[in-house]
Amino acid sequence: MSQEHHQKIHLNLKDVKHLQIQFAKAATDKLNLYLPTSDHSDPLKSRVSSLVNDFIYEIFEASKNSLDIDGATGNRDSLRSLLENSTNEVEPFDFSLQDQVRKAYQEVEQETIKLTKMRRDAPSEIKKSYEDSLEQSLSKIETLQKELENLESENEADIENHEDQFKRGVSSRLEDMISDYEESMRSIKEIKDQMPQERNEIEKLNNIIEFLQQK
């Protein structure tokens, strides 16, 4: 029966270097816990640290055949020599930067949801605002027409008296209609103006994310 071939784990050389650094850091933290010395030249601690680091490198070397590492040159080079090469150094993981990117993504998501809601609701809101304004105007016009009909049926003695009242009423109602119309137009304009502002906010947040990801 032929030997089974297990799929290798694919990693970048810098990923392996990052893992090695994390192992070394954890080992150093334990060493400082059990051998707490203020003198960095302590021979015992230095020797133990060296042995632990050698052991960590041996672990990675033993696992080399199970890894498919980008940047490695086959079996000719030891994994330790590759990891100790200064050109393969990796920057420490920036958790603060990761948090900034996460928050920026959340803001983009929130703004996208808001913009989607506006696109969905704005047409109906504009239509409703216009219909309400039109209905109010028609109602006031109907009231004025009724008052005109009442004036026509009255005698001349009452006409002059009611004409003044009617003119004042018409003037007041026309002012109200104009005011309602202007308010409706302002509301419609505000709704329309908000949409490009939301798009600009999303574009700014996307630019922030691209900038952070390039750092």
Question: Is residue 126 situated within a structural domain?
Answer: no
Question: Is residue 18 situated within a structural domain?
Answer: yes
Question: Is residue 37 situated within a structural domain?
Answer: yes
Question: Is residue 4 situated within a structural domain?
Answer: no
Question: Is residue 151 situated within a structural domain?
Answer: no
Question: Is residue 144 situated within a structural domain?
Answer: no
Cβ contact 108:210 at 8 Å: no
Residues 6 or more apart whose Cβ sits within 8 Å of residue 64: 72, 75, 79
Question: Is residue 113 situated within a structural domain?
Answer: no
pLDDT per residue of the chain (215 residues) written in tens, 0 to 9: 444 556 777 777 777 888 888 888 888 888 888 877 766 677 888 888 888 888 888 888 888 777 777 766 554 567 777 777 655 554 555 556 667 777 777 777 777 787 777 777 767 777 777 677 777 777 777 777 776 666 666 555 555 665 666 666 666 666 776 777 677 777 766 766 666 766 676 676 666 666 665 65
Owning domain of residue 61: 9-76
The total of structural domains in the chain comes to 1
C-alpha R_g of the chain:
39
Residues 6 or more apart whose Cβ sits within 8 Å of residue 203: none
Residue type, 106: Q
187 phi/psi in degrees, rounded to 5? -60, -45
Question: Is residue 57 situated within a structural domain?
Answer: yes
